[in-house]
Every structure is written in C-alpha cells, then in structure tokens.
Structure 1
C-alpha cells in the first residue's frame, strides 16, 4: 500500500483536510522556503505519516502545544487526525507564523487550532502535551519545554538516530528534574515507516 493510501486509511473522514494541507506544503510551503523542493515527492511518508504516528501517545481531549511549529509539523497533521485535541502552534519567526496563520484559516481549523508567535521560554501557560520536531537536542528541549508540561504532562518529540546519545548527555538534567525519558518506535499505519518518538514524563 502506497503512503497516500496508508494516509487515507489513517485519516478516514479527515483525509480531504490532510490532502489539502499536503497541497499547501507542496506549493506555498516550498515557495516560502519552509519545505525543501526535494521533499515534495516525500511529503506523505516523511512528514504526514511520520507526524501522525505520535497520535497514540497523546491522551484524549489533551491541550497540546507544538513548539517551533515551522510549517505546522507535527501540530497540523495531529490536529486534523485528532479533532478532540486543543492545539497551539508556537512559532517565533514572523514568516513561519504568517504561513501557519494562513494555513490554519485555509484548512478551517481556527476553532481548535491557535497560532501564537513566541518562544517556548517566554510562554507562561502549561499544557497536557508538548510536541516538537527537529527543534533542538534533548538538553535544550528540557530547558525550554519542561515548564510547559510540568508537573502533570509530557513531552512527545520526533527524534533521529542521535536520541540515545542526547539522552545520555542530558542525564543529569533529567535526574535533577525527576524526569523519565523513553524512546518508542511507533507507526501511523502497519505498513508505514517507523517513527522514533522521545517521550519525557515526570517521575511520580
């Protein structure tokens, strides 16, 4: 089954919305420099299904903040897949903030997706879940994101092959903050590529 059909199975009645988002990424996303031209033919498997794989790690009805949202990944695919979520897209750069605002409006997600311009360290609110993708190493993420989910939430981050070393490098900070870090292999669809997710939760 090709990635588009996998996504159709995963998104079901929300497939039209996620397809519209892919069209935005493949046009305006590239024009605005948020998506590399080489990614155009890999948007479904490397971006949409990759992000959707995090959905099962987020509790029902959660408040979620997507830190450094950029082109809206993983926040927008998760918001489309999970209408029960209350999503905030946090982005400090004006061009990306404007892109997110226009995209959320075009996809008609304004009722449950908020776009905020700012940095994680300047945010005063707390959320059930913090998500991010390709933002920073674990050490920096802990400094920026822990106040956003502590003491009752979690961080769910898409990470690459260096995650084990990053966790090791951040071990003192994790221990001092009484935080547990796990790396999970997840898939949006049984035939999709494996996604590596870092989940950090407070130790109770």
Structure 2
C-alpha cells in the first residue's frame, strides 16, 4: 500500500490525550484512509487536508457517552467512522460495524485485519435486517441520515437503558424536534444534545444522546 507524500497524522499532545492507547492504531488507520480513501470512494478530495482532526480524532467525540461495558453497534460504518476509532479507543467493548455496501465491507475487513481488532465484528447488511438479532448497550452513527429516519433504523437495536449516540452538525436540535414523535414510539425517556469541542478551537460536534 503506497503512503501519501505528506503525513496526515498530527502528533500533538491533545490528539494523544483524546485517543489514549488507541493513538497508534488511529494513526495507521488515518494513513490508510489518506492513501486509498479517495480512490475507493470513502472520502472526498477536499477532506484529505483535515482528515486527522475532522474525521479520525473527531470520531472520539462519542467516547465520553459510551457505556462502561458491553456491546456497541456502529450503523452505516462506511469508511470506519466512528466505529473503527471507537474500537481502538475502547478495546474492552464488543463493537459491531454495520455497513450494507460490499465495497465498504471489503475496506472495513482490510482495516480490521491490518489493525488486528479482535473486538470487532463486521455485518454486511442494512440496520433494519438486523432488528431482533443484534442488540447493544449503545448504537453510534455519523453522517448517516436525519434523526427521524435514524431512530427507526437504530432504536430497535438499543437495549432498554441504553442509548443511540448520533453525531450531528449545527441543526441537531431541529432534527431532535422533528424526530420526537418517532422516538416516543420506541420508548425514548431522554434526549440530550452535547456540544463537544475536542480541541477547544470552536469546531463543535454535536452528539445527540437518545436514551431508552
């Protein structure tokens, strides 16, 4: 595998603090994405300069809201964001990557093998196809769908007492308002929108925590 001319990884103290023991694996993952992500349709060319902070490290925004133990399902894993990063940072969790597109499943398989992620299982399926068979303490999703659709796809996989953690942008609160009726049908007890600024630079990621 050819490496990009410039290293995309930033070895700053804050990145190391955020990723912890998962830093080296995340660095390898970022370099794999930089080398092949655009060619394989996983990331756009404009994302390469900000791949490390905006995509790889940003995936760790959900980590403070993860369960202390158990299983996690990452829906629409795509390039592996945030599922692969979560698996690296929290090797104690059983992580399930759900992705229906075969070429992305092939990519995820290569990543999991390269990083030797023994806590990861890949499911080549749509989320709805796994209802009734896959249940976890938490479900994550990043740039998958509007929250009302996402709720229908993911909440049947959230164990009672668990949570959907959806990574969203500036319109997170608006999406929550539109999805309230759908969420009530799945026994949602609480919804919170967390503003996460990992680098204290004003670049905020909103993590919508939907708890059953």
TM-score, scaled relative to structure 2: 0.88
Please tell me whether the aligned partners of residues 19 and 60 of structure 2 are also in contact (alpha carbons under 8 angstroms): no
Alignment of 1:49-60 (within 5 A): 49-60=57-68
Aligned twin of 1:35: 43
Q: How many residues align?
A: 200
Residue 207 of structure 2, aligned match among 189, 197, 201: 197
User: Cα RMSD (Å) of the superposition?
Assistant: 1.8
1:182 Cα deviation after fit: 1.2
Please tell me whether the aligned partners of residues 45 and 193 of structure 1 are also in contact (alpha carbons under 8 angstroms): no
Are the structure 2 counterparts of residues 36 and 152 from structure 1 closer, same or farther at C-alpha, using a change threshold of 3 Å? same
1:81 Cα deviation after fit: 1.1
3-state secondary structure, aligned to 1:152: strand
Please tell me whether the aligned partners of residues 154 and 164 of structure 2 are also in contact (alpha carbons under 8 angstroms): yes
Instruction: Say if 2:173 is the partner of 1:160.
Output: no
1:129 Cα deviation after fit: 0.4
- C-alpha distance after superposition, 1:142-186 (max 9, x if no partner): 111111004231100101112211111122222333312211012
Greater relative CO (CA pairs within 8 A, separation 6+): 1
* Structure 1 unaligned spans of 5+: none
Aligned twin of 2:4: none
CA distance in 1, matches of 2:157, 2:81: 18
TM-score, scaled relative to structure 1: 0.91
* Structure 2 unaligned spans of 5+: 1-8
1:188 Cα deviation after fit: 3.8
Please tell me whether the aligned partners of residues 10 and 189 of structure 1 are also in contact (alpha carbons under 8 angstroms): no
